[in-house]
Structure 1
Amino acid sequence: MIDAENIVVATSDDMHAFGVRLGRSLSAGDLLVLTGPLGAGKTTLARGIGEGLGVRGPVTSPTFVLARTHPSIVGGPPLVHVDAYRLSEPIELDDLDIDFAGSVVLVEWGRGMVDAVASRWVDVEIERPTGAVGSDENEADAVDEPRHIRITRHDQDPA
């Protein structure tokens, strides 16, 4: 996994490229929680991770299906991409019956959810500037502005 704790990406292309590098460093059993506001670049990062892992795509937001599995086309682990936004409690994440040990799992909006199903994960928090453009949210999402990524590793001792 990439060792840097704080990263700045200037454009959405850079976010994708960072995802490719990150994806190449992941292996089965890795769990990442992608956190950030709408338009922060979580799905762009997930697309890059999918490309880096060599999975069948396209990697798109799984908002309406909750979880989407992308099998490897290069003999590696599958990517399971989860959108936990509509889940109300951690048990619902467990109910999705995800193969955490045999897959690379990305959970968007999963902060506070994964600690009930895993003892080890990486939080990838994406911050984007606010107020850089007008108050129209669509206009703000279209602006290619730098994002700050903070990576925090969590490793809970099993009790």
Structure 2
Amino acid sequence: MIDTARHYLSTDTIRNLIDAMSMVKMNVLHWHMTDDESFPYDSSVYPELSSQGAYHPHEYVYERGEIDSLIEFARLRGIRVIVEFDTPGHTSSWGRSHPEILSGESHEGPINPASEDTRTILSNLFQEVVSVFPDKFLHLGGSVYDRQLW
């Protein structure tokens, strides 16, 4: 697993990791893309998620072409790339651009599943994500949340 939400990795570093995985016969790269700390995925549907949620909106973001290149690089080495967008908890980075989707008065909590805004944004975003990442699996996190919020 690589965690680019907490520790941005250059595409060269990710390629080196993929090469190392290939050498030791590993065949699945779990890419933990988002978390509280950062939203480094450059969405074409919601570009504000990375422009306001990444560590640095122009340097520490993975653009579509870079992602496509990494996925192909991995595929040629027999490695699947499964991306994770951590939800429903660990979504503070999402709230920097869309506080309306987070729970609690301070809008710091996990995403609010009762909100129509949340359902719309998640639906649109994940439709894009599954078109970018060709694997049949999309990891949605399932991290902890405060059940008393709902």
* TM-score class normalised by the smaller sequence: under 0.3
Higher relative contact order (CA 8 A, sep 6+): 1
How does the TM-score come out when normalised to structure 1? 0.26
Higher helix share: 2
Which structure has the highest strand share of the two? 1
